[in-house]
Amino acid sequence: MLVPGSGSGKDSGPMEVPCGPAYPRPAAPHPARRDPMPFDSLAAAESVARLAAQHAARVDQEAVFPRATLDAARDAGLLALTTSREHGGHGGSLRDAALVVERIARECGSSAMVLTMHYAANAVLEAHGAPALRQELGAGRHLGTLAFSEAGSRSQFWAPVSTARVEGDEVVLDAQKSWVTSANAATLYVWSSRPTAGDEASTLWLVPNRRPGLTLQGGYEGMGLRGNDSAPVTAKALRVPVANRLGADGAGFGVMMQDVLPTFCVLIAAGSIGLMETAVSRTAEHAGGKRYAHLPTSSALADLPTIRAYVARMRIDADAARTLWLDTIGALETGRADAMLRVLEVKVACAEAALRVVDSAMRVCGGLAYRKEVGVERAFRDARAAMVMAPTSDQLYDFIGKAVCGMPLF
């Protein structure tokens, strides 16, 4: 399907978007929404989370994409949450998206990860996508994702080594993307490459899935977030219209820093917080209900001061992380001077807090924690992903240290 205009300045022709996606679409276009009442994203998230809870174990055990949950999210309007009302979406804020991801992460970390990448991609498309494309996003017709990480630059996603060259009104892309979330299920990728001209760090493109020259290599066999459908993606002489450029040639780094990084860090932190809430609640439930039957008083685990202290530390870590998370969102909303420092802090702080919380959950719940019924071992595995997602925790510590010491980050 061709839609006019790239939304990125000079109109260089029609922008091409998928017309035969892997992700299911509504049978007919939705008209632009004119909701009589504001969209209740929290109620929608609660409904989707209840469904996610029914499928999460299978998604994890069989490493399958959470199709039912994402279908429900689309039908509930959550895929269109951050698309503007002008283009048929709900005009939701980063805070709205963050609260949705946090709630769903309590039930299914994989579903929360897929939504995180969709909202991160949509942040770029809202800023630089063509109006007709945004209309399709507002109708819930697309599942988007980011295609930034590459084998050549590893976790330094802002510095792709893949190439782009212009041939007439098309650009030819060659790349080895190391991991793309929702690689099979997404209908479109926000794709990074070297610029077609100049020596800037990167340029961004809209790349429809299922294009000639695009190859997905195998499925995801990871420790956690096993349903997130990550896979390496290779482009070999992949052609898209030059009009599919998102922003100016060479402007990709700025778009990543301004539009992608705040959304990505806040939403990854939301997933970590949701996993912490699951770990705290299930650990407290287990400690309060599990008893030592052989003792005369049949005491519960929570009768032990050491157990209560572990649970207390879990609660403090989760609450402290949540406080920083909400403060980061507030800083972005009000344009506070420390907003970008908070963005750097929030992902690493919540990721590291989640590791402490889920480790304590395993310790408190003991041998039963290694089994499925207590409900903490999946959170233990899922929580570990945020630490190694670019920018990794170690990279963020370096950036934060540079910022505090008054040094340039790059």
Query: Over 80: is that where the pLDDT of 360 sits?
Result: yes
In this structure, are 102 and 49 located in the same domain?
Answer: yes
Q: Which pLDDT does position 218 carry in this prediction?
A: 78
- What confidence category does residue 21 fall into, taking pLDDT thresholds of 50, 70 and 90? very low
316 part of a folded domain: yes
In this structure, are 259 and 396 located in the same domain?
Answer: yes
300 part of a folded domain: yes
Query: Over 50: is that where the pLDDT of 320 sits?
Result: yes
State which residues form the domain around 269.
253-404
Q: Which pLDDT does position 37 carry in this prediction?
A: 60
410 part of a folded domain: no
DSSP summary character for residue 205: E
Q: Which residues, 6+ apart, have CB-to-CB distance to 142 below 8 Å?
A: 17, 18, 21, 23, 79, 136, 187, 188
pLDDT tens-digit map of 371-394: 888 889 999 999 999 999 999 999
Query: Over 80: is that where the pLDDT of 172 sits?
Result: yes
In this structure, are 400 and 299 located in the same domain?
Answer: yes
| Top-confidence residue, 163 or 155 | 163
332-337 CB contacts, 8 Å cutoff, 24+ apart: 332/94, 332/262, 332/266, 333/93, 333/94, 333/95
In this structure, are 226 and 260 located in the same domain?
Answer: no
Last residue of a domain, one of 114, 142, 170: 142
Answer yes or no: are the C-beta atoms of 32 and 84 closer than 8 Å.
no
pLDDT tens-digit map of 122-142: 999 999 999 999 999 999 999
In this structure, are 275 and 288 located in the same domain?
Answer: yes
Taking alpha carbons only, the member of 87, 83, 82 closest to residue 100 is 82
In this structure, are 134 and 201 located in the same domain?
Answer: no
Query: Over 50: is that where the pLDDT of 328 sits?
Result: yes
DSSP summary character for residue 228: S
- What confidence category does residue 32 fall into, taking pLDDT thresholds of 50, 70 and 90? very low
pTM equals 0.90
Q: Which pLDDT does position 305 carry in this prediction?
A: 94
Q: Which pLDDT does position 220 carry in this prediction?
A: 86
* β-strands 170-180, 188-193 pairing: unpaired
3-state secondary structure of 25: coil
Query: Over 50: is that where the pLDDT of 24 sits?
Result: no
In this structure, are 274 and 367 located in the same domain?
Answer: yes
In this structure, are 275 and 384 located in the same domain?
Answer: yes
3-state secondary structure of 310: helix
CATH code of the domain covering residue 133: 1.10.540.10
32 part of a folded domain: no
Taking alpha carbons only, the member of 166, 162, 176 closest to residue 252 is 162
Q: Which pLDDT does position 332 carry in this prediction?
A: 98
d(CA 60, CA 390): 23
20 part of a folded domain: no
In this structure, are 131 and 192 located in the same domain?
Answer: no
Q: Which pLDDT does position 410 carry in this prediction?
A: 84
Q: Which pLDDT does position 290 carry in this prediction?
A: 55
Mean of all residue pLDDT scores within the chain: 89
Query: Over 90: is that where the pLDDT of 338 sits?
Result: yes
201, HSE (Cβ side, Cα atoms, 13 Å): 15
What's the whole-number mean pLDDT along residues 101-108? 98
CATH code of the domain covering residue 162: 2.40.110.10
d(CA 124, CA 247): 9
- What confidence category does residue 16 fall into, taking pLDDT thresholds of 50, 70 and 90? low
In this structure, are 63 and 128 located in the same domain?
Answer: yes
- Of all residues in the chain, the percent with pLDDT exceeding 90 is 79
In this structure, are 265 and 368 located in the same domain?
Answer: yes
Q: How many CB atoms lie within 10 A of CB 223?
A: 10
Q: Which pLDDT does position 82 carry in this prediction?
A: 98
31 part of a folded domain: no
Last residue of a domain, one of 142, 164, 194: 142
179 part of a folded domain: yes
Last residue of a domain, one of 142, 159, 177: 142
| Top-confidence residue, 94 or 158 | 94
Total of domains in the chain:
3
In this structure, are 360 and 387 located in the same domain?
Answer: yes
CATH code of the domain covering residue 296: 1.20.140.10
28 part of a folded domain: no
Query: Over 80: is that where the pLDDT of 78 sits?
Result: yes
